[in-house]
Amino acid sequence: MGLVCRVVEEAGIATVCVSTGRDITALVRPPRSYFVNAPMGNNFGAAGDAATQRRILRAALQLAVEARAPGRIVDDPLQWPKPFAFDPAPPSPEALARQLKK
């Protein structure tokens, strides 16, 4: 997404990349980025949490207005309520078979 932001910026449109992958965002260096420490796909907080979603959206829009230095990353203070991690181990053949039966 950060690469898309850079192309859109070249066309003269301000962008803010709201990301959940800080390390990837730092490598891609979009013009402006708002980092939310949440599981992927939850860039604006948990489903149904309208207050948090509104707060993150407002902060991202404010960043679009205020940020002057390119490549800036602002960290959101959100504390996700439960641990999240990616398990890179592939599922067992048995687990795949059970899933296919569903």
Q: Over its length of 102 residues, how does the chain's per-residue pLDDT go in tens digits? A: 778 888 898 898 989 999 999 999 999 889 999 999 999 999 999 999 999 999 999 999 999 999 877 788 999 999 998 887 766 677 788 887 887 887
**Between β-strands 17-19 and 32-35, what pairing exists: parallel, antiparallel or unpaired?**
parallel
Structure tokens at 31: 């013009």
Domain ranges of the chain: 2-101
Q: Give how far Cα 52 sits from Cα of 26, 31, 43, 44, Å.
A: 24, 24, 10, 7
Identify the pLDDT of residue 97. 83
pLDDT at res. 15: 92
The pLDDT value recorded for residue 62 is 96
Give residue 11's pLDDT.
92
pLDDT of residue 91: 75
Check residue 95 and give its pLDDT: 81
